[in-house]
Structure 1
Amino acid sequence: MPDVTPEKHTDKVGSGLVTLQARMTCWREDDGHTNASWGFGFNGQLCLLFDSENGHWTVVHPGGRQMKEKWENDRTVTDFFKKVSMGDCQAWLQTFLVRWEKMLKTSAPLTTVPTTVQPTAATNNHITEIIFVVLAVFVITSIVILYKKRIALC
């Protein structure tokens, strides 16, 4: 990110640099439409949201105001977030759903299920955590690559 430099963003307490975090969230509506949003923050504090559907930026903490002003007017950044969100989210969700349906089909027949239904939230949480970790790594890698390309052009 071109305007996120150590000189501008250091921890006020003096403990070092601030960590920029980005999280992309994908979901599929009942009608099959894929949607996505981004959340950006510093040191765990959510500062800025981006709605990939309409391209709208929302400051949720004063720390995100400067980032919003820079990114909102940078068509390349906005287009990048939209393309990654809508393209990759759709592909990832489709891949996930195909595998999920296969897992459901290969599960034991209903006649072998105990009379008491066991909670499956822990299993679902692990799958969800894995998906979000993979998405986070991809997003951060993409942001770093975009940043390095922009520096090389200067």
Structure 2
Amino acid sequence: MTKTVTKKADSLCYSFTVGKSGSGPWWHKVQGQLNEDTFISCDSNNCHAVGRLGNRLDATKTWETQIDTLKDGVDLFKDQGIQMKLENNAMREPFTLQATICCRSEGGEHVKESCDIDLNGRKMLHLDLNTKKWTEVNPGSSWMETMLKENKFLTEFLYKTSQGDCRSWLEEFKSYWEEKLESIALPTAAPDVDQPSSMVRKPNISVLLIILMNFLLFLLQYL
């Protein structure tokens, strides 16, 4: 008998973060998550697999292609961040720009893609990549929406990655997620019909003593 695992909708998300503080250089980091389990992490030096799931996916033919795409995305978001800083020099530091691209399989062939944009830790915009509709999460973020829409290279990357790469990667990667669930499903021991020796009922010693004393008294009456 095995532990039952409730299957949820599968999701694949990539979070791109670029930032700068003072006179220091621009930095970046990227994280990839399958069903909220981090499997890849990139910094300004390299990308590496994370955990058991990451080590499994590292062996797939998609792994290196994925890294190349993530590097392209970092360059585009970094250029966007530089442009924002140039046009608004009064923007507070440390400055961070984050974009999280997700594709979620909601059963069957329907996949929902989206992108959330944060600025300095505050959610600013939500982009429904299926309908290409922008939503202002934070009032007064229309300037940012206009700037992103004008960046044709970045918007093309968002549409292409979410509706092309992300979909195909999710389809390939989720089989490894299912294998992981199977490996962590713990067997539940069946009830043992034969009780262990420690559980065998033992005679009550006090009852035996009483019976023995009564027997001795009975014998004494006839001696």
The two structures have a TM-score, normalised by structure 1, of 0.59
Supply the distance in 2 between the matched residues of 1:90 and 1:70 (Cα, whole angstroms). 27
Picking from 188, 192, 201, the partner of 1:113 is 188
CA distance 1:62–1:3, shift in 2 (3 Å): farther
| CA contact 1:41–1:64 (8 Å) conserved in 2 | no
CA distance 1:3–1:59, shift in 2 (3 Å): farther
2:95 match: secondary structure: coil
1:32 match: secondary structure: coil
Aligned residue pairs: how many? 109
Q: Is 2:78 the partner of 1:3?
A: no
Supply the distance in 2 between the matched residues of 1:92 and 1:36 (Cα, whole angstroms). 13
Letter in 2 for 1:113: T
| CA contact 1:34–1:89 (8 Å) conserved in 2 | no
Match of residue 120 from structure 1: none
Letter in 1 for 2:174: L
Supply the distance in 2 between the matched residues of 1:89 and 1:107 (Cα, whole angstroms). 26
1:86 match: secondary structure: helix
Q: Is 2:194 the partner of 1:103?
A: no
Picking from 154, 162, 170, the partner of 1:93 is 170
In the alignment, structure 2 segments of 5+ residues that lack a partner are: 1-79, 191-223
The structure with the largest helix share of the pair is 1
Shift of 1:58: 1.1
Shift of 1:105: 4.7
In the alignment, structure 1 segments of 5+ residues that lack a partner are: 116-154
Which runs of structure 2 are paired with 1:27-66 in the superposition (5 Å)? Answer: 27-66=104-143
Supply the distance in 1 between the matched residues of 2:97 and 2:185 (Cα, whole angstroms). 44
Match of residue 122 from structure 1: none
Letter in 2 for 1:56: K
The two structures have a TM-score, normalised by structure 2, of 0.42
CA distance 1:114–1:86, shift in 2 (3 Å): farther
Shift of 1:75: 4.0
Percent identity for Structure 1 against Structure 2: 30
The structure with the largest strand share of the pair is 2
| CA contact 1:38–1:52 (8 Å) conserved in 2 | yes
Shift of 1:66: 0.8
Q: Please identify the structure whose Cα radius of gyration is greater.
A: 2
Taking only aligned residues, the RMSD between alpha carbons, in angstroms, comes to: 2.6
| CA contact 1:24–1:36 (8 Å) conserved in 2 | yes
